[in-house]
Amino acid sequence: MLQVERISDTLWEIPRDCEKGMRVPARIYATEKLIQEMDETVYEQITNVATLPGISQYALCMPDGHSGYGFPIGGVAAMDVEQGGVISPGGIGFDINCGMRLVITNLVEREVKPRIKELTNSLFKEVPAGVGSAGILKLTREEFRRVIEEGARWCVANGYGCEEDLALTEEQGCIDGADALKVSERAIDRGLNQIGTLGSGNHYLEVQVARKENVFDQELAHAFGITAPDQVVVMFHCGSRGFGHQVATDYLQIFLRVMENKYRIKILDRELACAPFNSPEGQNYFAAMKCGINMSFANRQVILHHIRKVFSTIFQRSAEDLGLRMVYDVAHNTAKLERHRVGNQERMLLVHRKGATRAFAPGMAGVPEQYKQLGQPVIIGGSMETGSYLLVGVPSGAQSFFSTAHGSGRTMSRTKARKLWRGQKLQHDLEQRGIYVRSTSWAGLAEEAGSAYKDIDEVIHAAETAGLCKRVARFSPIGNIKG
């Protein structure tokens, strides 16, 4: 059993000398309850991450951490690119830029609840979900290449949104440096028809309510657009679908070929396959990964277009009149070049966030201008049975390279969840509790049962107590679409 030392009520450390090859200590943010529930693989994986070349300060795991491919989900690692730091697809994830978007309305629960079935059914029809789902956006291969280089900017230029949407999206909806020439034809095949689709697994689209008792900071909530008791919002979670998966798969194979033979890098786990960031292979993957980031921004932008259309149809008012405006779109599953202070020096670091969310503090570059004095909004999804959160970045987040959790985090496998619950019964039980759910698969719905996830309130408590972020509001689900 690894040696785990308690640093505080919400911080635990595996010392650098605990395992051979560790370059830095490994740290886990969690309450005692969460640390006791953490699966043992998390400790092994975050310790392995601490052995990667160029890693700076700590290998980190967020409170929602659970086992993943290579890195644990919830893993954060910053690589010093001037000191031989590597880039690893296992530290980003297969669903590149899986992320969250939060949209406000000026509707309140009493106006929406009587029509929640009609609204959810219409959203279910307009926003394709499930394995292999295809969107209504039909692109040529050349058009798709432009999308993956231009991201949500392409969508807005083609009538799927407005300039304000871009201003309220991380990276303004397009990360610079994406190069479609670094992406395989197989990846393009897989992504070509998937713009505007949710996908499967833990991806969802949810109609939620911000109840008065669940607004924790009135001033911040008001600044982010949460202004009325029982206000209705829409939150959705999706990524780059099969396109991102193929990009990661392609480069994992490349890295496995060159890692030891060309760069003499030895790792403890093949799932941490990597290459020096400044190598040709590392730079090619970085440019291809950025295409995955942009594809995902475009995907969420087109989904928002469909949401606005559905609300406008159901409530017979324009999207503008309904106040359907973005709060923010935040990514997880990325690697980005960022400047952070390490000791007394500011360093250029490649920050891997896998199942972890950027949470920049007030005044930092990259925070939208209208939120510059407030801090970056952070959107954390819970399970379909519990609730979700709007948080904000804080200065003390520097300890984690301004990173925080991304969701609840699973406590059991999908296989086990399918054995314990039946999708049809779960849907019925949820409806009795005031949550109307549509899903493409009963088995898929069973996998997403609330009890298969950690307690979202405990996860947020851990993150806030540790100083990674601050609570603004909690949202309760009333309508949900699952892939």
Is residue 296 annotated as involved in ligand binding? no
Neighbouring C-alpha atoms within 13 Å toward the C-beta of 262: 13
Residue in the structure block whose two tokens are 């059993």: 1
Is residue 69 annotated as involved in ligand binding? no
Is residue 206 annotated as involved in ligand binding? yes
Is residue 202 annotated as involved in ligand binding? yes
Tokens of 52: 């990667």
Is residue 165 annotated as involved in ligand binding? no
CA-CA distances (angstroms) from residue 254 to 202, 258, 277, 287? 29, 7, 14, 15
Is residue 383 annotated as involved in ligand binding? yes
* 233 vs 333: CA distance, rounded Å: 24
* 187 vs 280: CA distance, rounded Å: 20
User: Is there a catalytic annotation at residue 406?
Assistant: yes
- Catalytic residue, candidates 305, 306, 352, 406: 406
Is residue 39 annotated as involved in ligand binding? no
Is residue 245 annotated as involved in ligand binding? no
Identify the burial level of 457 via C-beta atoms within 10 angstroms of its C-beta, where 0-12 means exposed, 13-18 middle and 19 or more buried. middle
Q: Identify whether the C-beta of residue 307 lies closer than 8 Å to the C-beta of residue 119.
A: no
Q: Identify whether the C-beta of residue 71 lies closer than 8 Å to the C-beta of residue 45.
A: yes
Is residue 33 annotated as involved in ligand binding? no
Is residue 205 annotated as involved in ligand binding? yes
Number of C-beta neighbours around residue 466 at 10 A: 25
* 386 vs 381: CA distance, rounded Å: 9
Is residue 428 annotated as involved in ligand binding? no
Q: Identify whether the C-beta of residue 91 lies closer than 8 Å to the C-beta of residue 248.
A: no
Known binding residues for Mn(2+): 95, 203, 237, 332
| Active site members | 406
Known binding residues for GMP: 202-206, 332-333, 381-384, 388, 406-409, 482
Known binding residues: 95, 202-206, 237, 332-333, 381-384, 388, 406-409, 482
